[in-house]
A and B are shown apart, each in its own frame.
Chain A
Amino acid sequence: MQDAKRPDQFFQRALAEGEILLPKCDDCGAYHFFPRVLCPHCHGSAISWKKASGKGRVHTTTVVRRKPERGGDYNVCVVELDEGVRMMSRVEGIAPGEVAIDMPVTAFVGEAEGVPAVLFKPSEG
Chain B
Amino acid sequence: MTTELRGKSAIVGTGHAGFGEAHGLTAYDVMAQSALAALGDAGLNLSDVDGLFCTMMEDSMPALMAAEYLGIQPRFIDGTMSGGSSFVNYLTSATMALDAGLCDVALIVYGSNQRTASGRLVTASRPPAYEAPYNPRYPISAYAMAAARHMHEYGTTREQLADVAVAARAWAQRNPEAFERGPLTREDVLGARMVGDPLTVRDCCLVTDGGGAIVMVHADRARDFPKAPVYVLGSAAESSHRQISQMKDFTVTAARASGARAFAAAGVTPAVIQAVELYDAFTINTILFLEDLGFCAKGEGGAFVEGGRIAPGGVLPVNTNGGGLSCVHPGMYGIFTVIEAARQIRGDAPGIQLKDIDLALAHGNGGVLSSQVTAILGSQNTL
Contact = CB atoms under 8 A, between A and B. Distances in A.
B145 A61 contact: yes
A90 B137 CA distance: 13
B327 interface: no
Given A64-B196, A97-B197, A101-B152, A59 B132 contact: no
Interface string A65-101: 1000000001011100000001111100000010001
Given A60-B146, A60-B152, A64-B196, A117 B246 contact: no
B133 A115 contact: yes
Contacts of B244: 78, 88
B148 A101 contact: yes
A87 B131 CA distance: 8
B26 to A, nearest CB: 30
Contact of A112 (B133, B194, B243): B133
A64 B194 CA distance: 9
Contacts of A90: 134
A7 to B, nearest CB: 11
B134 A112 contact: yes
B22 interface: no
B137 A59 contact: no
Interface string B135-159: 1110001001110110010000000
Interface in A92-118: 97, 101-102, 112-113, 115, 117
B149 A59 contact: yes
B193 A65 contact: yes
A76 B136 contact: yes
Q: Chain A interface secondary structure, helix, strand, loop or mixed? A: strand
B129 interface: yes
Q: How large is the interface on B (under 10, 10 to 19, 20 to 34, 35 or more residues)?
A: 20 to 34
Contacts of A65: 193-197
B149 A101 contact: yes
A62 B245 contact: no
Interface residues of A, number: 26
A117 B250 contact: no
B144 A62 contact: yes
Contact of A60 (B129, B148, B193, B243): B148
A63 B197 contact: yes
Contacts of A113: 132-133, 135
A108 to B, nearest CB: 14
A121 B273 CA distance: 48
A48 B184 CA distance: 55
A86 B249 CA distance: 11
B131 A8 contact: no
B135 A74 contact: yes
B193 A78 contact: no
A33 B246 CA distance: 8
Contacts of A117: 133-134
Contact of A61 (B130, B131, B148, B195): B148
B130 A88 contact: yes
Nearest to B137: A64
A115 B141 CA distance: 21
B145 A77 contact: yes
B133 A62 contact: no
A116 B250 CA distance: 27
Contacts of A76: 134-137, 141, 145
B136 A88 contact: yes
A63 B194 CA distance: 9
B197 A87 contact: no
A8 B128 CA distance: 13
Pick the most buried of A61, A62, A64, A115: most chain B CB atoms within 10 A of its CB. Answer: A62
B109 to A, nearest CB: 34
B196 A63 contact: yes
B299 to A, nearest CB: 16
Nearest to B251: A60
25 contacts: A8-B129, A34-B129, A34-B246, A60-B146, A60-B250, A61-B145, A61-B148, A62-B141, A62-B144, A62-B148, A62-B197, A62-B198, A64-B136, A65-B195, A65-B197, A77-B145, A78-B250, A86-B245, A87-B245, A88-B134, A88-B136, A90-B134, A97-B197, A101-B149, A112-B133
Given A63-B196, A88-B136, 11 more contacts: A8-B129, A33-B130, A60-B149, A63-B197, A64-B141, A65-B197, A76-B135, A76-B145, A87-B245, A97-B197, A117-B134
The 3 closest A-B pairs by CB, nearest first: A112-B133, A62-B144, A88-B245
